[in-house]
Every structure is written in structure tokens, then in C-alpha cells.
Chain A
């Protein structure tokens, strides 16, 4: 170990963070008859991914409606509220 005669105290360069804890929203018993928001992050692949999701869900559930939200990151409170008005949302990061 040697003679550890030098002692330096240095400061942590990370920053304090503050957040509010949340719990997940209640889940659905089925997607039949529900409106699903499809949220694309603005990258070229996102809408293609969500198009596939829509087609597959149409094959599995009856009377499911869809609305595409071709938005980007930091979409703003108004768009978040619009998407939250759906019964569920599938978001895709399409990189």
C-alpha cells in the first residue's frame, strides 16, 4: 500500500436533480373499440414502424381506431394533452 501521506478532497462534478415520482397509468382490458394514438418522433423510420403496428393491431382487435401524431421530441403540452385523449398511445423512436 505504501505511505498514503497525501490526502486530497475533490468535489463531485455531477449536479443535483429534482423530480416528481409518478406511477404508470391504469392499463386497458382490451384494445377492441379503443382509439390508439401513434406517436412518431419525427425520424424517417418512426412512421413506418407505427404503420406496421397499426396493421397488426387491426388484425388482432375489432373496431380499433387509430390517429397518427407525426410529431417530434419536446412536442409541447398541447400535443401531449391531445395524445392523452386517446385510450392508449404507442410511441416510436424511429432511428
Chain B
């Protein structure tokens, strides 16, 4: 929609065809970007995968609407073109009355829930006092705009971040981590790839994609961000509320609402929160010539710096291996990411292997560095071309050009473009279970800027 709006602004008439569930999000996007009158034509959902003759019949039914949209000038609206419009949250302050504190708390939550400002769980009321307390966790100016959050491109200021952190139940000292998370998901690196959709895509996709936050460096321990047993489980305030705060910011500053313009068909429970620390104290990071480097060091940051890495994450895949201390552990990783259920239709996507300490130590004791692991997984995550083609019949332009010229269907293709697409961290308690998280596009890492005081 935004691209079509850009074309209209250059003086070329457009019409957008979209499937019915996207109608509301399209109109909302047009309204949010100052061109409410942009014409759209709805067609039944879904289109992908239908026979061509069925699609042809559906388009036949609306072809006159398509041509009308290019012939007839849509309503221009009341605002003069070129006018800057600023829309502030209305009302800025909500007054809630109750018979008692518990009554008022219940009414605040009911109001926020009805306004779609929550994740469904109760929130901590963001009073001015609470927000001022949250702001003590950073020395950045409350009016500083950290990022514009799609889909509404609302200004995630330090103050707005603090409001949502209060709601999430975060502590003030978590603010720098949440701020860095906002910076990471809106960094251009997060939108690099064949499908360069970034945070906007994550907010509106039908796929169950949500940010995974990986915290590396000293701040993880300082803030008790769990990297050990149950690191993705309940019971850890920092993990729970840092991830939750980011989700509330995506909802409230980004204006993304499930079933309205966030079109995740099913979504997943990791949308509520998905945050973990890297277990840098594990011996694999310290032993021998092939000691593993922490993620942030691999990505160019000094070891003593703390960072947040954002991953546009698909639901995690369980890797189960009962102490077979050999590269066979990696065969299970390969099997998880190269089966027909999860084959990526762009090869530039990345993966994060979250190895539990048992698996990590087995591999390290077998002499494997992180690069050895990357190379092994890359080399073995392959599929016969004919299987891949059956999933994505061509010509499918998201494939690299070389793939479109394959003649011998028995050719084996790599499902990831490079060993560098794989990232590895250690997290969890000793056990037979690890996880692999596939990313929709590239990961992005941002430094956590702690207050100077």
C-alpha cells in the first residue's frame, strides 16, 4: 500500500488488488499515510496456490472495478494536499473512577483491553508517577524519538516506551534494553533480504513471526535476564517483561491489531514475550583455541559491551538428542530446517541455533568451533531440486537466478545461501533438548546504552 501511495504521489493513478482480509489494513494504511482515497479492489482470500483458471474467473468478476478505479477520480477528502497532519493520541490522559483501588484497577484494565491497548493480560496502569519512575532507568530525553514503528509509524519516544514498559510490569533498569530492542527491529539491517519487509512485514504478515530478543554482554547478568534453566519459560521477570514491553510498543505505537491489520492466521504464544540471554559463562566460550565467541562479539561489538539482537522469529523447532555427543546432534538440526514443512522460499533467511549446554559442550569437546557447526549445517541443509520446485512452482522470482535455470531435477540445492546465515548461542539448562529458530530475514544487533549515572 505504501508503495502504491508513493506512486500516486508522483502523479500516476494506481489501484491495489488485495484479498478480503487485508481490506481493513489497506484502508487503515491509506488513512495513516494521508491518502485515504487510494482505491482498492477486494478479491476472495486466499489467492496463493489456486489454479490459474480459478484466479482468472475471480479477476474477471472485478475487472470493471479495476478499470473504474483508474478512470474515476476517488474522493479527494477535505484536507489540502501537502498539509502536514499531526495526530496525537486522544485523549492523552484517561480518567478512571472507582469505588476502591481494586475497582479502579479493574476498570483501567477493562478500558485498555477494549481499546486494544493490551496483549490480553492485565497491565500495570501507566500513571504519570509510574512513568516518571520508569524514566529514571535511562538518561535519554523523554521527547527523543527512538524510532517510527510501523504500521502507523507512530513515534516511539523515550516517554512512549516508558509508558508501555510500565504497562508490561518492567523495572526501570530494563529501559535501556527495551530501547535497544526498538532500535534493533527498526534498523535497516532488519529489513535486508530478498523479502525486505522488516518490522512492517512482521506487523502485518499472515505468518507467525514475532521478535526474539537475545541479550548479550554483562547487562544480562546485571539485570538477571535468564540464560539457564527455563530461559524461555515462565517465572523470570526480566525475560517476561522486556519482551512484553516490546510487544506492547509494537501494538500501541505501531498500531497493529490482530485480525484487523496484523493478519497472523494463528500467531503464537511467543508473541507475548520472547526474550533470552546468552549463557556466556558456559565453558565453551572460554576453553581452548576454538573457544566460541559470544554473538555480539561475532557481530563486531567488544566483549564488555552489552547488546540486544532482534530476530524476526518463526516458532522455535525442538531438537531432541539424548546425549549422543557427536555431530549427529547437528543432523537433527539439519532435519528440522530442511524438511518440506519449513522449506524457506528465499534462501537468504537466517537461523539461530539455541544449543543447550549439554549439546554445546559435546560439540565443543568434539573440537567443533561455531564456524565448524555453521559449515556442517549449511553443507547438509540441502534438498533435491525437484522437491523444492514442487513447493514453489516457477518461475518464482524470489529464487536466485541460478535456480531458475536448473535443468537436471536431481540437482541438490542448498536451502540457505551461506554458512554465515547461521547464528549460534548457548542457553538453557543441561538436558537433551535444544531449539532452532528460523528468521524471516536478517538479524540486527544494537548496543544497550546504559545511563551514565
Binding site for B on A (CB under 8 A): 2-31, 37, 39, 42-49, 51-53, 55-57, 60, 70-75, 77, 79-81, 83-95
Nearest CB of B to A1, in Å: 9
Q: Do A16 and B88 contact each other (CB < 8 Å), given the known contacts A10-B93, A22-B9, A56-B60?
A: yes
Is A13 touching B167 in the complex (CB atoms < 8 A)? yes
Complex Cα spacing A8 to B385, Å: 63
Q: Most B CB atoms within 10 A — which of A11, A16, A30?
A: A11
Is B167 touching A15 in the complex (CB atoms < 8 A)? no
Number of B interface residues at 8 Å Cβ cutoff, please give it: 113
Binding site for A on B (CB under 8 A): 2-19, 22, 26, 32-35, 37-39, 43, 45-50, 52, 55-56, 58-60, 63, 66-67, 70-74, 76-77, 79-101, 103-104, 108, 112, 117, 125-128, 131, 149, 152-157, 160, 163-164, 167, 191, 194-198, 200-201, 206, 248, 252-253, 255, 263, 345, 392, 396-398
Is A93 touching B32 in the complex (CB atoms < 8 A)? no
Complex Cα spacing A62 to B360, Å: 66
Q: Most A CB atoms within 10 A — which of B55, B85, B127, B167?
A: B55
6 closest A-B pairs by CB: A15-B154, A45-B47, A45-B48, A15-B253, A84-B10, A4-B97
Complex Cα spacing A72 to B12, Å: 19
What 15 additional pairs, Cβ within 8 angstroms, besides A6-B100, A20-B83, A90-B70? Answer: A8-B108, A9-B127, A10-B94, A16-B86, A16-B87, A17-B87, A18-B155, A22-B34, A27-B73, A29-B71, A42-B397, A46-B47, A53-B17, A74-B2, A92-B18
In the assembled complex, 19 residue pairs joining A and B whose CB atoms fall closer than 8 Å, in A order, are: A9-B127, A10-B127, A12-B91, A14-B89, A15-B89, A15-B152, A15-B252, A24-B13, A24-B73, A24-B74, A26-B13, A39-B4, A46-B47, A48-B50, A71-B3, A80-B6, A84-B6, A89-B13, A95-B45
Complex Cα spacing A5 to B101, Å: 9
Complex Cα spacing A80 to B167, Å: 40
Is A11 touching B163 in the complex (CB atoms < 8 A)? yes
Is A42 touching B85 in the complex (CB atoms < 8 A)? no
Q: Which residues of the partner chain B approach A39 to less than 8 Å between Cβ atoms?
A: 3-4, 7
Nearest CB of B to A45, in Å: 4
Which of B34, B103, B104, B200 meets A74, CB within 8 Å? B200
Is A83 touching B12 in the complex (CB atoms < 8 A)? yes
Is B127 touching A11 in the complex (CB atoms < 8 A)? yes
Which of B14, B58, B86, B128 meets A18, CB within 8 Å? B86
Is B95 touching A25 in the complex (CB atoms < 8 A)? no
Is A20 touching B34 in the complex (CB atoms < 8 A)? yes
Complex Cα spacing A95 to B43, Å: 11
Q: Most A CB atoms within 10 A — which of B18, B49, B108?
A: B18
Q: Which residues of the partner chain A approach B99 to less than 8 Å between Cβ atoms?
A: 2-6
